Structure 1
Amino acid sequence: MPCGQIPVLGEQFSHVANQHPCFSGEANMNHGRIHLPVSPVCNIQCRFCKRTFNKTEQRPGVTAKILKSETAVSLVERALELYPEITVAGIAGPGDTLASPHALETFTLIHQKLPNLINCLSTNGLLLERYADDIAAAGVQTLTVTVNAVDPVILDKICSRVILDGVVHEGVEGAAILIGAQKQGIRKAADLGLLIKINIVLIPTINGSHIGEIARTVKDLGAGIVNIIPLIPQHEFADFSPPDCFELALAREEAEKSLPVFRHCQHCRADACGIPGKGDMTIADLLPEELQTAEYKKMEQTFSHG
């Protein structure tokens, strides 16, 4: 399948996929998205993940502000005035979107006010099965799930802990809980009719030879496309080497034996806004000065790894 195309998943998906810059290479250059950083906490800890506040780093897990749901909706309306090419409202953190209620609250409001926008939710999948019906009811049409391994022994090397219903699970046990939840959640979301993309962080020395198995597994669960994300060395993996071009190409080839591969990922921030293939601003550039209040400072205090 040529680069940039997506699988033929039926007429109900064609409109969505062709206008989503994170699902289609062509849309990546012509359609915009806004990421709304309303989800402050996370329920797992990946060894490569370092979430923070700043206005400079271009990577996931970074935002300038945490927003309330109502403010996020107002910013979408303002962004549409500046970027009429925006077709997608996405929430990708900076924590997990299902670890707090803010993402679903935000999507519900957006769906009510701006029903023509494509709502896109990103999650680690731990609570996906639990909230799948709520996700669909909130008007979410596209879903991204990060699946870095389907073998608990491998995932244990990538994810140090899983927090489920207040209980901390570590080691292979925690990894197995996360994998099981991801599988059940992806299957349920697919049954509900969501278009599903799987993100895989490529760490050559850990899951480099495992990519094909991940792709085969998620295809059988109902996923439609895969995105291989090169490791950004940081946190516990600060001394790891990122994949080189050959390793990335090999991983994509392995995944593409099962599913189409999206090849235009920009390592977007949790507050990115604009057309990915043509450059970004952040929601901080859209936020009126009068909204920089102590309320946001209070919300930022909850920004943690759970």
Structure 2
Amino acid sequence: MTKSSSTYSSHPCFGSAARKTVDRIHLPVAPRANSRIKYSSMQKIQDSIQPEAALAWLDELISEGRKIEVVGITGPGDPLVIPDLTFRTLELVKAKYPNISLCVTTLGIGGAEHAETLAKLGVSHVTLLVDAISRSMIEELYAWIRPSKKNIPLEEASSLLLSEQAGAVKALKAAGITVKINTTVYPPNADHVGEIAETMKALGADIMAVVPFIPRDEEQEILLKKTDSITMAAARDLASKHIDLMPEWEECGAILKNEPSSLLPKPTKPRPNVAAVSSNGMEVNMHLGHAEKILIYGPRDDGLACLLETRTAPKAGGGTARWEELAGTLSDCFILLAASAGDSPKKILSQHGLYVAVTDGEIEGTVDSLYGGGKKKKCKK
């Protein structure tokens, strides 16, 4: 194949440009997955954050001098399962940082439907996760595929996935978006990679990344070892006969890792306090929707963070108005701790500058960590 075209060779994720000293950040705003590979870890999916919190994190990194050139929406779930969260994040980033390149990584279900919207929001590149182009191989690799809120039989889902991915490539290209195919090599699909490359290229895909399966934890490593170099070389050779390939490396660009502590907001002068819901006053153990009282923690005059007061939560049943009222009640808080919370309150409160953190930790220790403490002193009430 010929060398990569100028359409994508200058992008920090592709070609030699990816070797430059630039930063790429993945904003974890997609809360729900729509598939699982059989070799995936069974560990709980990483928590997602709201678009406003993602923008605040991006602001913080840029203020620290990080030269972020690419913002990707890649997880922890699939960005097109709840597209409104992805779209709002893209809107916020594009409005504030118009020179930052935007990209999305998705399985492709819903890709054709949302292609024009992604283009209008400024997305220049979409990565499609394509590990198979036959029903039998999909059924070999996937534990389940969930195109909506409910699983469907894998035999039916495999046909749907093939159709959705093919339609996504065509629609994204028609919308002027560069399409990269990302294929992870497992033992069952290693000899299948050439067919994937040929099929995707015929549909219009621009470039392909052929990457090894890499266990992320001990549980995964028990299921399957990292794909060896001989298998990878053979797979890349098969693919290169049909489509341009990205250079060999395990991750594209210089990705800023999503450390949990980095994703949490910090106290500010207008919002110095922490809100928490609890049934016993010691642990974060309540669903936000069930809370009647809100515990408010914050720094006293001596700087030590303690329980300041208890506030009454708005009565249940008010719908959107309830969360709007709660946002006003907690206008001096930068974070709200709850054991669980629905998408609607998370969205509304986030739009009002209040981040909802789902946790089940002990309140005192969690509050202490939010203020950067090490539990050096106890709060005397």
Q: TM-score range by the shorter chain?
A: 0.7 to 0.9
Contact 2:57 2:262 in 1 (8 A): no
Summarize the alignment of residues 203-242 of structure 1 with structure 2, pairs less than 5 Å apart: 203-204=186-187, 206-233=188-215, 238-242=222-226
Residue 167 (structure 1) shift: 4.4
Correspondence for 2:169 among 175, 186, 209? 186
- Superimposed CA distance per residue, residues 285-304 of structure 1 (whole angstroms, 9 cap, x where no aligned partner): 364334554269636769xx
- Superimposed CA distance per residue, residues 67-92 of structure 1 (whole angstroms, 9 cap, x where no aligned partner): 11011112212222334421001111
Cα distance between partner residues in 2 of 1:177 and 1:112: 35
Q: Which amino acid aligns with 1:161?
A: W
- Superimposed CA distance per residue, residues 113-167 of structure 1 (whole angstroms, 9 cap, x where no aligned partner): 1111100100000111111122112211111110000011011111122222344
Q: What fraction of aligned residue pairs are identical, expressed as a percent?
A: 26
Q: Which runs of 5+ in 2 are unaligned?
A: 268-333, 347-356, 360-381
Secondary structure at the residue paired with 2:108? coil
Secondary structure at the residue paired with 1:185? helix
The yes-or-no answer on 1:32 pairing with 2:23 is yes
Summarize the alignment of residues 109-258 of structure 1 with structure 2, pairs less than 5 Å apart: 109-204=92-187, 206-233=188-215, 238-258=222-242
Task: Tell me how large the CA RMSD over aligned residues is.
Answer: 2.8
State the partner residue of 1:69: 51
Q: Which amino acid aligns with 2:166?
A: K
Secondary structure at the residue paired with 2:125? strand
Cα distance between partner residues in 2 of 1:243 and 1:82: 37
Using CA pairs under 8 Å that are at least 6 residues apart, name the structure with larger relative contact order, 1 or 2: 1
Q: TM-score, with normalisation over the residues of structure 2?
A: 0.65
Contact 1:19 1:87 in 2 (8 A): no
State the partner residue of 1:44: 35
Cα distance between partner residues in 1 of 2:66 and 2:226: 36
State the partner residue of 2:77: 95
Structure 1 residues 228 and 284: CA distance shift in structure 2, 3 A: farther
Q: Which one is further off, 183-192 or 225-234?
A: 225-234
Q: TM-score, with normalisation over the residues of structure 1?
A: 0.80
- Superimposed CA distance per residue, residues 45-78 of structure 1 (whole angstroms, 9 cap, x where no aligned partner): 222233756xxxxxxxx74x52110111122122
State the partner residue of 1:289: 266
Contact 1:47 1:237 in 2 (8 A): no
State the partner residue of 1:59: none
Secondary structure at the residue paired with 1:150? coil
Structure 1 residues 301 and 289: CA distance shift in structure 2, 3 A: closer
Secondary structure at the residue paired with 1:161? strand
Q: Which amino acid aligns with 1:86?
A: I
